[in-house]
Structure 1
Amino acid sequence: MLIRTEIGVDAAGIDSLLRRCFATSAEAELVQQLREDGLLTLGVVATDDEGQVMGYAAFSPVTLGGEDLNWVGLAPLAVDESVRRQGWGKQMLFEGLDTLSDFSYNAVVVLGDPAWFGRYGFEPAARYQLHCRWPGTEATFQVRKIADDPFAGQGGLVEYAAPFNRTA
């Protein structure tokens, strides 16, 4: 397995992976739209020994109350079924967090399984008076700091990039 930042030639493999991993094409279309709109802050791929994309994590900008605080949203995160439960998702997550830290990003938000993300430092966003636009996501909307104290004095609506509104 090789974990690295995505490059242009990975786009077809990423698209194929996302179409295999999710019940609809919404995530594949979302990533394509983020890429086309220049809203893909970071893409991390995991490839097998033959170079096939077997995992992917996308990070895109989010705002808080319309303000850019150098936060990103993680979505989607996908690992091919044949290599799940082998640590690929965790390794892509930490590669992404390291890269984002190097570029002075402050925090990551995610809608995902609290049991899985909680193991890697994510906390309920509601703890910091943060929420997203989708009802019923209080338990799954989570945050993780990259920089020191990015949530101090913050609170309100975290908004994902416009392409996310097309899939909801």
Structure 2
Amino acid sequence: MLIRMEIPVDAPGIDSLLKRAFNRESEAALVRALREDGLLTLGVVATDDEGGVIGYASYCPIWIDGEDHQWVALAPLAVDDAWRGQGIGRQLVYKGLDTLNEFGYSAVVTLGDPSWFHRFGFEPAARWQLRTSWPGTEAAFQLFTLADNALDGVSGEVSWPAPFVHPVLRTGH
């Protein structure tokens, strides 16, 4: 198995993995839209020995009260069912955080299971008066800071790129 940054030839495998992992089209359509719109900050893949995509994590830009603070969102994160329980999701997250830190990003947010993301150092975003426009996401909204000053003067509503807000427009459903 290899964990690396996504390259163009991975796109069909990523698409297939996301459809299988989520048993629907929306996450695959989201990643395609982010990629097409130039909003895919980072894609990290896990590949098997034949180069097949068995895990994926994508990161895209976000804004706080309309301002760019060099923050990104992790979404989606998927591992093929046959490969779960082997630490691949953990490796994808760590590789993404390390790479984003090297690129100079300040923080990462995600909507996910707090107990799972806590092991990486993610904390509830609400502690810093950060919120989303999606009702009922408060407990799942998590934050990981990459820079010591990431939270200086930052609070408010976090917004995601348009493909998150209008996914139905991208899938044609």
- The separation in 1 between residues aligned to 2:128 and 2:114, in whole angstroms, is 16
Report the secondary structure of 2:62's partner residue.
strand
| 2:130 alignment counterpart | 130
State the Cα distance separating 1:153 from its structure 2 match. Answer: 2.2
Report the secondary structure of 2:23's partner residue.
coil
Paired residue type of 1:138: E
State the Cα distance separating 1:102 from its structure 2 match. Answer: 0.7
State the Cα distance separating 1:23 from its structure 2 match. Answer: 2.6
Report the secondary structure of 1:57's partner residue.
strand
Q: CA RMSD in A?
A: 0.9
Kindly report which structure 2 residues correspond to 1:7-156, keeping only aligned pairs within 5 A, or say none: 7-156=7-156
Identity %: 61
Question: Following TM superposition, where does structure 1 have runs of at least 4 consecutive aligned residues deviating by more than 2 angstroms?
Answer: none
Count of aligned positions: 168
State the Cα distance separating 1:167 from its structure 2 match. Answer: 2.9
User: Structure 1 length normalisation: TM-score?
Assistant: 0.98
Q: Per-residue displacement from partner, 1:88-139 (whole Å, max 9, x unpaired)?
A: 0110111111110111000000000001001110000000000111100010
State the Cα distance separating 1:10 from its structure 2 match. Answer: 0.2
Report the secondary structure of 1:147's partner residue.
coil
User: Structure 2 length normalisation: TM-score?
Assistant: 0.95
Which segment is superposed worse, 144-153 or 66-75?
144-153
- The separation in 2 between residues aligned to 1:111 and 1:140, in whole angstroms, is 5
Paired residue type of 2:24: T
- The separation in 2 between residues aligned to 1:11 and 1:33, in whole angstroms, is 12
- The separation in 2 between residues aligned to 1:15 and 1:75, in whole angstroms, is 14
Paired residue type of 1:95: K
- The separation in 1 between residues aligned to 2:150 and 2:162, in whole angstroms, is 23
Paired residue type of 1:19: K
Is 1:3 matched up with 2:32?
no
